[in-house]
A and B are shown apart, each in its own frame.
Chain A
């Protein structure tokens, strides 16, 4: 069990659908992250929020739209995705963005695009 909770665990969607991935943590962490992981590859950073403000966007296509409604929640809105976007989407959090703060991952959402 992890202290970072992601929903849903699995999601299948068509290329024209709109869906959202959700992430929640109650550890009082002020930095939250979205990663994408393809099979047999390491996680790739997508976005970082620090104190509810977008701090890093790793040149992610606009069909992925992050949102941080409050310090405990992080959403990733999906629209018009492509089959190559099928992957495991991981949320992580850390105390803050200090480099000595380890990141803790949620269980992930496995996304399949039809």
Chain B
């Protein structure tokens, strides 16, 4: 079983809809969770960080964490074509700040 799993997609949503991106992880002691957005040919850009169970909202983005079920999700409200990118789930397990990435989900927002 992979440490961090994401559906590779592509996930297609119409403009204005809610995009829901999911990530599951295997290590129960994971303590920090991050979502990065990566446009084709560009570097990862930090979107959200979440550390405790529940929801965290920032503008059109909401991160949700459920440690008991070992999943973290990212909701994008009012999706725009500019949101089309690959979204990487990343987490830190154990000591230090070593990130483990999922393989990413490609999101396509269609006009």
What residues make up the interface of A, taking CB atoms closer than 8 Å to B? Answer: 2, 31, 41-43, 45, 48, 55-56, 88, 90, 94, 96-108
Contacts and interface: CB of A to CB of B under 8 A. Distances in A.
B97 interface: yes
Contacts of B46: 102-105
A99 B97 contact: yes
Contacts, number: 58
Given A42-B103, A100-B51, A48 B98 contact: yes
Given A42-B88, A42-B103, A100-B51, A105 B43 contact: yes
Nearest to B99: A103
Given A100-B32, A102-B34, 12 more contacts: A2-B45, A42-B88, A42-B101, A45-B99, A48-B98, A88-B43, A97-B97, A100-B31, A100-B51, A105-B36, A105-B45, A108-B42
B59 interface: no
Contacts of A100: 31-32, 49, 51
Nearest to A42: B101
13 contacts: A2-B45, A42-B102, A45-B99, A56-B96, A56-B98, A90-B44, A97-B96, A98-B97, A100-B32, A100-B49, A102-B34, A103-B34, A105-B36
A90 B43 contact: yes
Nearest to B6: A42
Contacts of B42: 107-108
Nearest to A104: B46
Residue among A31, A41, A103 having the largest count of chain B Cβ atoms under 10 Å: A103
Interface centre among B31, B51, B96, B102 (most CB of A within 10 A): B96
Given A42-B102, A42-B103, A99 B96 contact: yes
Contacts of B95: 99
Contacts of A103: 34, 46, 97, 99
Interface string B51-86: 100000000000000000000000000000000000
